[in-house]
């Protein structure tokens, strides 16, 4: 049983509570309600912050145990930084910081959602709660023992005292849907590859039907009929059936062209016959991070009843070396009819996406399509883990993704697509090859994908650096980050709903 977090909203008051969190800025003054709480010992905060060197900066905290004369067992002052400069993400991150500060022993905490500038509005209070939710996640399903001295799972309740509890509850509902989608994506990325095979992933995606998502699972027979020769080649060395899952959420106008999201779902990438070196190969369980993000996104959209027609398509395969595996030198015929010479069986993600992009375009006539893929190591050489690579044939879509990234903190950086790079993928024997040379590896991979999108408005996000093995932040401590769910949810709310 994992730890659980219950989030509640109630009216702003100085009523007694167990563990209280107050928000304090650089003026070091308690907000009005906190001042009421502190009334029995008016100079307590002043003395505490002086003793601690606390300056009210964001990310800093003062912790007062059993403060004498007060009705609380503990008082935590959380630094807010300058409230006039607050951006949305500052509030979400503050929530993450507070979550980390809540002591293990404390099972109920109360946050007074107010600064000296006044009470937080409903959206800000909900953003704070979102931060707590995102930070709270841990993947410990396979740990049979808990840490030293720990007992069973903890059931924590955090109560947000706000100006308008009803409005805050409503604002949080949509954010909770997104947080659930992020946690689903994280679970999928963290799951080991012996558990999360393509059929098991398809089963988990199918559970979205409970939210009103229409789910169709296509197995190898159907994929063959569709002519997905590129995708099927990747999975042909695996004991597991390759699958394509189509998830459909119709929350928008009848007949309106859908937004389509496509994910690379290589449940394990050994490299195939062009096998990878052993060191770090276990990380390739996360090579389905694109498919996980798409599944998490569909969960979020359906759970918050987004007013959009959206389709998620994920290609689930396992890339294994085997007597039946595809080889370097093979020439594949993709669903588009274009032929591909295999140079390297480790450049498999683009083969999966080639057929999905073509299928999406032909079947759904999308208003736009965005694919996510842990596609190349080269994108990490270029951008590290701070930005995902963005490749697109459309300036408006690029602009929308860039601003959604800045708003949510899931940032993207645009990379070039030009005919000179495209040429690097020409083949001696077929229409194209699946791997270019050493130069510009992330770009040549994107050029390969572009050969399957035609004139459809399209963006490709290379998330090899952001989806897995993630640096720990205020909002994520998990190996699988769930990256992309919040970004794309925001893209949808900003460009499709409204």
Known catalytic residues are 276, 350
| Options 19, 374, 408, 447; binder of ligand BES; rule CB under 6 A | 374
Is 376 a residue that touches ligand BES (CB under 6 A)?
A: yes
10 membership: H or E segment, kind and range = strand 4-11
Q: Which is nearer to ligand BES, 79 or 441 (CB)?
A: 441
Q: Name the site residues for Zn ion (rule: CB under 5 A).
A: 266, 269, 287, 349
DSSP SS3 for 331: strand
Helices (H), 191-269: 198-206, 220-226, 229-235
| Options 40, 42, 337, 377; binder of ligand BES; rule CB under 6 A | 377
Kindly write out the interface string for residues 340-369 of this chain, putting x where it contacts ligand BES by CB under 6 A and - elsewhere: ----x-xxxx--------------------
Residues facing residue 437 across a β-bridge: none
Q: Could you tell me how many residues of this chain bind Mn ion (CB under 5 A)?
A: 3
Kindly write out the interface string for residues 264-293 of this chain, putting x where it contacts ligand BES by CB under 6 A and - elsewhere: -----x-----------------x------
Kindly write out the interface string for residues 339-378 of this chain, putting x where it contacts Mn ion by CB under 5 A and - elsewhere: -------x-x------------------------------
Place of tokens 């022993």: 105
Is 337 a residue that touches ligand BES (CB under 6 A)?
A: no
Q: Which two tokens stand for residue 116?
A: 């000296």
Residue 378 CB, nearest approach to ligand BES (Å) = 6
Binders of Mn ion in range 261-300 (CB under 5 A): 269
Nearest residue to 474 via CA among 152, 165, 158, 79:
79
Cα–Cα dist 420/436, whole Å? 12
Place of tokens 């030293």: 148
Q: Do 320 and 237 contact (CB within 8 A), yes or no?
A: yes
Strands (E) located in 13-79:
19-24, 61-65, 74-79
Cα–Cα dist 271/274, whole Å? 5
Q: At a CB cut-off of 8 Å and minimum separation 6, what does 270 contact?
A: 276, 281, 284, 319, 320, 321
Kindly write out the interface string for residues 441-480 of this chain, putting x where it contacts ligand BES by CB under 6 A and - elsewhere: x----------------------x----------------
Q: Do 448 and 432 contact (CB within 8 A), yes or no?
A: yes
Is 7 a residue that touches ligand BES (CB under 6 A)?
A: no
Q: Could you tell me how many residues of this chain bind ligand BES (CB under 6 A)?
A: 14
Q: Which is nearer to Mn ion, 295 or 376 (CB)?
A: 376
Cα–Cα dist 419/304, whole Å? 41
Q: Which is nearer to Mn ion, 33 or 447 (CB)?
A: 447
Interface residues with Mn ion (CB under 5 A) are 269, 346, 348
Interface residues with ligand BES (CB under 6 A) are 269, 287, 344, 346-349, 374, 376-378, 435, 441, 464
């Amino acid at each position: 049983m994992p730890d659980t977090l219950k989030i509640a909203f109630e009216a702003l008051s100085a009523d007694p509570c167990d563990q209280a969190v107050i928000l304090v800025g650089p003026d070091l003054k308690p907000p009005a309600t906190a001042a009421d709480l502190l009334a029995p010992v008016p100079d307590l905060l002043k003395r505490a912050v002086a003793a601690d060197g606390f300056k009210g900066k964001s990310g800093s905290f003062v912790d007062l145990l059993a403060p004498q004369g007060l009705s609380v067992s503990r008082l935590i002052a959380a630094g807010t930084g300058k409230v006039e400069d607050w951006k949305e993400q500052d509030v979400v991150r503050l929530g993450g910081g507070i979550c980390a500060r809540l002591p293990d022993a404390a099972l109920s905490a109360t946050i007074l959602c107010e600064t000296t500038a006044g009470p937080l509005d409903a959206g800000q209070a909900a953003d704070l709660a979102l931060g707590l939710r995102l930070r709270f996640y841990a993947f410990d399903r396979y740990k049979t023992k808990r840490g030293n001295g720990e007992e069973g799972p903890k059931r924590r309740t955090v109560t947000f005292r706000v100006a308008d509890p009803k409005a805050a509850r409503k604002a949080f509902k949509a954010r909770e849907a997104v947080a659930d989608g992020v946690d689903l994506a994280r679970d999928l990325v963290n799951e080991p590859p012996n558990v999360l095979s393509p059929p098991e992933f398809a089963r988990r995606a199918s559970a979205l039907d409970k939210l009103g998502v229409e789910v169709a699972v296509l197995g190898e027979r159907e994929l063959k009929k569709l002519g997905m020769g590129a995708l099927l080649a990747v999975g042909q060395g695996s004991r597991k059936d390759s699958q394509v899952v189509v998830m459909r959420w119709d929350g928008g106008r009848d007949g309106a062209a859908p937004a389509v999201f496509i994910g690379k779902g290589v449940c394990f990438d050994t490299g195939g016959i062009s096998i990878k070196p052993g060191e770090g190969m276990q990380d390739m369980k996360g090579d389905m991070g694109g498919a996980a993000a798409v599944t998490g996104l569909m969960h979020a959209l359906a759970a918050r009843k987004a007013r959009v027609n959206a389709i998620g398509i994920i290609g689930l395969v396992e890339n294994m070396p085997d007597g039946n595996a595809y080889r370097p030198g093979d020439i594949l015929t993709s669903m588009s009819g274009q032929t591909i010479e295999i140079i390297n069986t480790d450049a498999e993600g683009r083969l999966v996406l080639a057929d999905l992009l073509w299928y999406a375009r032909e079947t759904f006539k999308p208003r736009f399509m965005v694919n996510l893929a842990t596609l190349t190591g080269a994108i990490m050489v270029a951008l590290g883990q701070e930005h995902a690579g963005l490749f697109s044939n459309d300036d408006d879509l690029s602009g929308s993704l860039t601003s959604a990234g800045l708003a949510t903190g899931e940032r993207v950086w645009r990379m070039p697509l030009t005919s000179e790079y495209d040429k690097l993928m020409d083949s001696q024997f077929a229409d194209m090859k699946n791997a270019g040379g050493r130069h510009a590896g992330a770009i040549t991979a994107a050029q390969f994908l572009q050969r399957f999108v035609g004139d459809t408005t399209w963006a490709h996000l290379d998330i090899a650096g952001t989806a897995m093995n993630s640096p720990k932040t205020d909002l994520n401590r998990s190996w699988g980050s769930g990256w992309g769910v919040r970004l794309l949810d925001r893209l949808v709310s900003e460009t499709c709903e409204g």
